[in-house]
Amino acid sequence: MAKSFLKELKAARDEWHSMNHPFIDLWEQGKLTKKQTAVYVVQHYHFVTDYLNWLAYLWATCPEKDVKDSILDNLKEEEDPDDRHLEMLIDYAKACGLKRGDVINAKVLPWTEALKDWGWRFIYQNPWPVSCAALMIGLESQPPQIYTRVVPSLHNNYGWDPGDPKIRFFRGHIAADEIHSARGFQMTAKYCNTPELRRAAIEGVRTAARKRWNHMNGLYRFAVHGKSDDTPE
């Protein structure tokens, strides 16, 4: 049962895994300008800002010590005073020609806004083990596979040295999010312990991945076509 549950969670995530998004195809092939790649980072910054608050909400509402400890570890890493992860995103954007204010005060695109709004609603309306699954498997387990495609291109097509601190966000999130997502799978398997919770977790993961995919659609449209909404012409 446990094994097939994990398989179903992965399958639900993989239906709309952002690693397969056309934006990542272009990035991997070096077909985006640096400034276009920065659109990803800017919108990601605004999505992750809420993501961390969702984790903090989960920490506050979950009664299980092992889960709380794991979330707290994750948040401590994210908010590391020596190298806050949100700052890594700003550094990459600056290396692409943007200013700090361009990131922080950027217009959040509609599909990114939708992802942010969905996340709040989801964590308010679902039992915490289901929220754990949607956030940690549906969203946080994706970056290692996404950035495994991006990082070689940063070296080969954009000229950044492998050790350049400006691209540390991508490099760092291959390893870190592997660990976070392994914990996410483990906690979901342990605490989604009824058929109802398991069903809701699988659906939550599917929806989370789809919402993230839509956010990718929006930033693609903006970066490549300069369109900030999808009103038909």
Of 46 and 206, CB closest to Fe ion: 46
Of 85 and 211, CB closest to Fe ion: 85
> What distances in angstroms separate CA 63 from CA 58, 59, 102, 191, one per listed residue?
9, 8, 39, 11
Instruction: In angstroms, give the least distance from the CB of 182 to Fe ion.
Output: 15
Instruction: In angstroms, give the least distance from the CB of 62 to Fe ion.
Output: 20
Residue of the chain from 85, 198, 211, 212 that contacts Fe ion (CB under 5 A): 85
List binders of Fe ion among 65-84 (CB under 5 A). Answer: 78
Instruction: In angstroms, give the least distance from the CB of 203 to Fe ion.
Output: 26
Of 46 and 85, CB closest to Fe ion: 85
Instruction: In angstroms, give the least distance from the CB of 223 to Fe ion.
Output: 22
Interaction of residue 171 with Fe ion, rule CB under 5 A? no
Instruction: In angstroms, give the least distance from the CB of 197 to Fe ion.
Output: 27
Residue nearest to Fe ion (CB): 85
Residues that bind Fe ion (CB under 5 A): 78, 85
